[in-house]
Structure 1
Amino acid sequence: MTQHQSMTVGTDGACSGNPGPAGWAWAAAEGTLTSGVMARSTSQAAELQGVLEAITMFNDMPDLTVELDSACAMNTYASWMDNHKRRSWHTGDGSSPPTARSSRPSSTPAAPVAPPDCRRCGS
């Protein structure tokens, strides 16, 4: 799909109630955008889903910058996701209850050609 060598994509997610009905979106600097809904989710999961959907769409982009306003989504993707997936989305000590099903992303992308540069903007 992509013809450019670099791309900046802004992402966001939110929900009504926490958890509750949620939505996510991404918009690329060149004008492409998409969005989706989650029947019941948390704000953090919706934020992360927007990031994951953008990364999946632009997986072949050599120079991808993802701008987001969620430190949790940025840290989850950049630092924590491999451990979460390895533990089947359970907490690290094993004695705690599993991560809330509504907090898990609905999908996780294959590794991009190059890891995107995730930048936190706004608050």
Structure 2
Amino acid sequence: MKKIEIFTDGACSGNPGPGGYGTILRFNDITKELYGGDPKTTNNRMEMMAVIKGLQALKESCEITLYSDSQYVINAITKGWAEGWKKRGWVKSDKKPALNSDLWEIILQLLAVHKVSFVWVKGHAGHPENERCDHLAVTGSQEAKKLGKCFDKVVGE
């Protein structure tokens, strides 16, 4: 099974507001960068989109180490929150609706295909790949604001 590293970040100018995501995939010495944006979204949705786009870019089942500065994303998976919300019909333990259930559904489906280990990294602390993902996410946010629509891009295409 291929071992892949995925680095992710999301950004939002206003919350909600124009947002973007940045994702780096690394397999051995091959690196691929993805980014995109949405003119009206939230930071958490963009953090989730970064994860989704990274996992969707893989053509086969892989062993993945996924790095994110989003405690929302990491805790929802590693602490079983998202699975619990799904079992309760996308209702949290406090009986309030779970937010972003559409994206959690996609993430849970993708996690069933791959073996993923999540690693939290401190944002804006000099981690090279996190800083690059942040740059991509901010670029995505700016482009989404200009375009007025959602988009996805691969760097260099």
Q: How many residues align?
A: 116
Most deviating of 34-43 and 57-66: 57-66
From the CA coordinates, give the structure whose radius of gyration is larger.
Answer: 2
The residue type paired with residue 22 of structure 1 is G
The residue type paired with residue 33 of structure 1 is E
TM-score relative to the length of structure 1: 0.75
Equivalent position of 1:105 in the other structure:
103
Equivalent position of 1:23 in the other structure:
20
After superposition, the Cα gap between the structure-2 partners of 1:122 and 1:31, relative to the gap in structure 1 and judged at 3 Å, is same
Give runs of aligned pairs for residues 68-107 of structure 1, distance below 5 A. 68-78=68-78, 79-94=80-95, 96=96, 98-100=97-99, 105=103
Counterpart selection for 1:12 from 9, 13, 18: 9
Structure 2 spans left out of the alignment, 5+ residues:
124-157
Q: Percent identity?
A: 24
The residue type paired with residue 42 of structure 1 is T
SS of equivalent to 2:72: helix
Pick the structure with more helix per residue: 2
CA RMSD of aligned residues (A): 2.5
Measured against aligned partners, the alpha-carbon deviations of 1:51-100 in whole angstroms (never above 9, x if no partner) come to 12212323734321111111111112332222233444343343x3x345
TM-score relative to the length of structure 2: 0.61
Structure 1 spans left out of the alignment, 5+ residues:
none
Q: How far did residue 106 of structure 1 move?
A: 8.1
Highest RCO, 1 vs 2 (Cα 8 Å, sep ≥ 6): 2
